[in-house]
Amino acid sequence: MLKSLLPVFYVQLSPSEISVLNVNAHARVCDVPEIALTPGCGALVQAVGRHARQAAAQPGVALANPFAHPRSLISDFVLAELVIKHFVARVATTGLKRLVAPSPRMVIHPLGDPEGGYTQVEIRALRELGLAAGAAFATVWQGRQLTDEELLSGRFPSEGQVLA
């Protein structure tokens, strides 16, 4: 019952694109999952998304895609967390309501079908990325794109699976 009262965020991930949808507010952002930062101890984020490549053209700024790895969807958990947090913040409601709003439910949908399927380590990392981004509950879904009604109800179709 409590779950149905929480806002719902739908995160679709691939090495080439991240899409975050705030289902309740009908706000969506799609971009590349890249991050530009100054490397070293206390690294500073310079830009995220399509602006990261421009920022990385400056001396001393590195470009990374934490979802681009030949064997795994996540190559760097800390950077992946920063990227997801950035895009979640972009579609979150603004103003005072955001400060007192409940933590959302998050459905994380890795796109693609890796040979042998996703490992338990990858599934756990995806779920923990959702929690680290502020979700009260995080679910990892594999299958077709979900509709707003499915996301709001929390009832997933049989043409896919919730990964546990």
pLDDT band at 96 (very low <50, low <70, confident <90, very high): very low
What is the pTM for the complete model shown?
0.90
From the CB of residue 147, how many other CB atoms can be counted at a distance below 10 Å? 12
Phi and psi at 108, nearest 5°, equal: -105, 125
Distances 62 to 36, 41, 116, 145, 158 between C-alpha atoms, Å: 5, 14, 32, 33, 42
Residue 101 pLDDT > 80, yes or no? no
Q: Write the pLDDT tens digit of every residue in 6-45.
A: 899 999 999 999 999 999 999 999 999 999 999 877 779 9
* Domain 3-32+69-163 classification at class level: alpha beta
pLDDT at residue 3, rounded to an integer: 57
Domain residue spans of the chain: 3-32+69-163
